[in-house]
Amino acid sequence: MVRPMSDWTEAMTDDDRRQAVVDLLGVLAYGELMAFERLADDAGLAPTVVDKAALGEMAVAEFGHFVKLRDRLSALGVDPQAAMAPFVGPLDAFHESTTPDDWLEGLVKAYVGDGFATDFYREVVGFVDDEQTKALVLDVLADTGHAAFAVEHVRAAIAEDPAVGGRLALWARRLMGEALVQAQRVAVDRDALARLIVGGTGDLAEVGELLARLTQRHSERMASLGLAA
């Protein structure tokens, strides 16, 4: 039998809520650190100096986000490395299983994969009571300009060679599947986060609706890229 929302929220102690916040900040911090590394790598594959500079600026912005999250964890009296540690394996596994073969796949991965993660964490932070943490998370989840950059370059590539669209559409669908697995693993493996999400949505059925919303936003991103969902 599905437990009602009140049971989940009442079951959460102050320690549970604090751990959920630490987990959220930890997974985001490691995610931002990896985003910095990936954008720096993508800059090396960029075809023009202008593109290299643009991606380099985005990488710097992502590292700035990491620093903010790291400093917030420290301010809470938490070791940032310890907070990130539970998420190193899942996030590394996701990125190792979705290594792009070229520049365009790298752009799609950042836009589709990171976009899904951003939507997921925006949903989660809506259940957090700590307003300072909520404001920080929404700040670091703000787009650094990569969305418009990816859309512009992917659409241009498809216009030049329509066959590219089919390949990138398959790649994006694979990314979505892997991202869903990652999100579920992150939530389920961390009990405090799972309690926060289920308590915030109301019941397990609502969690399914949350995932449906994420899937819909993925379809919208695919359309903006000019790809079939």
What is the C-alpha to C-alpha distance for residues 19 and 196, in angstroms, rounded to an integer? Answer: 10
Whether the predicted pLDDT of 36 surpasses 50 = yes
Rounded CA gap, 115 and 176, in Å? 10
pTM: 0.86
In sequence order, the 6+-apart residues with CB closer than 8 A to the CB of 52 are 43, 44, 46
Instruction: Report the pLDDT value the prediction gives residue 77, as an integer from 0 to 100.
Output: 96
How far is the first Cα of the chain from the last one, in angstroms, to the nearest whole number?
A: 35
For the chain, give the mean pLDDT.
86
| Burial label, 164 (beta-carbon count in 10 A; 0-12, 13-18, 19+) | middle
CA distance to 19, 90, 109, 205, 223, per residue, from 211 (Å): 23, 19, 19, 10, 19
> pLDDT per residue over 183-215, tens digit each?
777 777 788 887 777 766 556 666 677 778 888
Distance CA 168, CA 93 (A): 21
How much is the CA Rg of the chain, to the nearest whole Å? 18
3-state helix, strand, coil in the chain (%, to 5): 85, 0, 15
**Cβ atoms of 8 and 192 closer than 8 Å:** no
Indicate if the pLDDT at residue 30 is higher than 90.
yes
List the chain domain ranges.
5-225
- Contact assessment for residue 3 and residue 201, using Cβ atoms and an 8 Å cutoff: no
- Span 85-115, pLDDT tens digits: 999 988 998 889 898 988 899 999 989 888 8
pLDDT digits (tens, 9 = 90+) for 141-182: 988 888 899 999 999 999 999 999 999 999 999 998 888 888
CATH architecture of 5-225: Up-down Bundle (1.20)
* CA triple 127-123-129, angle to 5 deg: 20
